Amino acid sequence: MMIAVPALLALLAVVALNYLWRRHADDGVLPPSPASLPVIGHLHLLRRPVHRTFHELAGKLGPLMHIRLGSTHCVVASTAAVASELIRSHEAAISERPQTAVARQFAYGSAGFAFAPYNAHWRFMKRLCVSELLGPRTVEQLRPVRRAGTVSLLRELLVFLANSNKQQQPVDLTRELIRLSNTSIIRMVASTVPGSVTDEAQELVKEVAELVGAFNVAEYIPVCRDWDMQGLGKRAADVHRRFDVLLEDLIRHKEEAAAAAILDDDVCNKKKDARQDLLDILLEKAQDETAEVKLTRDNIKAFVIDVVTAGSDTSAAMVEWMLAELLNHPESMRKVQEEIDAVVGHDRIVSEADLPRLPYLQAVYKETLRLHPAAPIAHRQSTEEIRTVHGGGYTVPPQTAVFINVWAIGRDPAFWEDPEAFRPERFMPGGAAEGLEPRGQHFQFMPFGSGRRGCPGMGLALQSVPATLAALVQCFRWEKPADKMMIDMEESDGLVCMRKNPLLLRPITRLDPFPPVI
């Protein structure tokens, strides 16, 4: 009998929540919903990856549907028309993001940016991101940091090939790309980080990404709220403690260097002209007494965690998806390599500065973003009641999670001819998608989201990802394992949509002689 009491209480809680939730919308019509079960709602219908499950359900229920995940009510938008209406007409009502207990832990409560409530602090940080932290000037200034990472990877591949015992072995390119993106973003945050700190930070970033993206039963089933059934709370507390120690060390190092520079006018003047990393900018803003919002130490640490976790796996995943698609489509690979050869030649390695003159490479990147957006679902939360038009005239009550299925929208046959096919030519002059940019203005193509909560690191991704891919295919041919006719395109589940299986390839030097790696 004692065992049944918690389940009964949970059932009663869910029934009460359902009743209250439906009362919010009794003057309107709720979006259609599949049959649900007591307590768990529609959790039993979800299969990994979740964006595909939502896509399949939308095919039966329509472009806007209601899903109950335990006690959490959600609506899922699956077409550009519904997404456009929600963002353009109801942006103010969906400017919040759902925040889990694990996310709050790494955000130092409400001190972070990615999951922060829409308030004065968030607006200040967004402006700071767009204008300085991740703005064009800073992205350009930190280009040498990213270049150094790419050069390091190319060197490692050459050393690998020089080892006669390894020449017939494949390289785990998934691991190498994650290491490259992690190292680059960490050094953009703090350019003077010692190698040992970079290694530790990489491990912590991996753990944070896993924890934030993990499915936590306690978030959805009321009776489980106070239980750490999966051990996620304990793990998150440990990783947060370790990350906090590392961040404090980085900040103290910066503060000590700044204090020493003040004592040396010459050094101080040189510092003003030196390239600033993101931590330099944040600490400088924290000391600005005239700033609209005073940044605290927790604000700085939370923002650094946001940047390194959001900007590492996502970049690696996109390079990997691009390379996998090119290997499965040899004609597109040939066009990319011929374009790079014509523009760059064989005497130097392609760089970010070459990207404006590589339109086919850019088209390959856009087509990859359409098919494999790094964040396949955009998460919002309603703060007031919404009445839709394009979604079928439905009502979305307050405190409802709003999921925009970016992955499904990128494959909508209403906008995309042969939507499952990899066709970069559609983005070239004369193609049906000519002129479409992934910056959030075109709702049928918004891999970085749109509106206030659009990805602030979009400009950085549009530079770093295609440049890394270009260097890999300019310098090497990539052979698939002998037993693989095609690279598998199975997806993993989580906040970042990565390939499920490691990309194991054998590199073969393409350029002879190989240009200087500097």
- Give the domain ranges of the chain: 120-368+455-509
Looking at domain 120-368+455-509, its CATH class is mainly alpha
The answer to whether residues 146 and 315 touch, using CB atoms and an 8 Å cutoff, is no
Cα dihedral across residues 281, 461, 120, 239: positive or negative = negative
Q: What is the pLDDT along the chain (518 residues), one digit of tens a residue?
A: 334 444 444 444 544 445 444 444 455 689 999 999 998 999 999 888 999 999 999 999 999 999 999 999 999 999 999 999 999 999 999 999 888 888 899 999 888 888 888 888 899 999 999 889 999 999 999 999 999 999 999 999 999 988 866 667 899 999 999 999 989 998 999 987 777 777 888 888 888 888 888 888 888 887 777 787 788 889 999 999 999 999 999 998 888 887 777 766 554 555 444 568 999 999 999 999 888 889 999 999 999 999 988 887 899 999 999 999 999 999 999 999 999 999 999 999 999 999 999 999 999 999 999 999 999 999 999 999 999 987 678 999 999 999 999 999 999 999 999 999 999 999 999 999 999 999 999 999 999 999 999 999 999 999 999 999 999 999 999 999 877 789 999 998 777 889 999 999 999 999 988 888 76
Rg over alpha carbons for the chain, rounded to the nearest Å, is: 24
Can you list the pairs that 427-431 forms with residues at least 24 positions away whose Cβ atoms lie under 8 Å?
427/362, 427/363, 427/366, 427/367, 428/359, 428/360, 428/363, 431/363
Burial (CB count <10 Å: 0-12, 13-18, 19+), residue 45: middle
Please identify which residue in the block is written with the tokens 């604000």: 299
How far is it, in rounded angstroms, from Cα 127 to Cα 135?
10
Residue 92 CB neighbours (<10 A) = 10
Q: Is 475 annotated as a binding residue?
A: no
Read out DSSP for 218-244? GGT-GGGTT--TTSHHHHHHHHHHHHH
Q: How far is CA 479 from CA 310, 396, 486, 507, in A?
A: 30, 50, 11, 6
The answer to whether residues 273 and 266 touch, using CB atoms and an 8 Å cutoff, is no
